[in-house]
């Protein structure tokens, strides 16, 4: 499977959001702890968006 630059960027954004959510879960960081659920939901949403549109060119 060959990833385009668009889907690779979305993958890294998704990973960054997931890591931020996990940091908020295990460390007391003001915004990350408060929005950890929404960060993880956003990470999976971005990942799903990238998978849905992976075959389309822009």
User: What is the model's pLDDT at position 58?
Assistant: 56
Mention every residue, 6+ apart, whose C-beta is less than 8 A from residue 44.
14
pLDDT tens by residue, 20-58? 999 999 999 888 899 999 999 999 999 988 888 776 655
Instruction: State pTM to two decimals.
Output: 0.80
User: What is the model's pLDDT at position 50?
Assistant: 84
User: What is the model's pLDDT at position 4?
Assistant: 66
Distance in angstroms (rounded) separating the CA atoms of residues 22 and 32: 9
């Amino acid at each position: 499977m060959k990833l385009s630059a668009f889907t690779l960027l979305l993958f890294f954004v998704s990973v960054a959001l997931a890591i931020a959510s996990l940091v908020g879960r295990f460390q007391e960081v003001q915004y990350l702890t408060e929005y950890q659920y929404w960060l993880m939901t956003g990470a999976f949403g971005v990942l799903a968006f990238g998978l849905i549109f992976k075959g389309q060119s822009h």
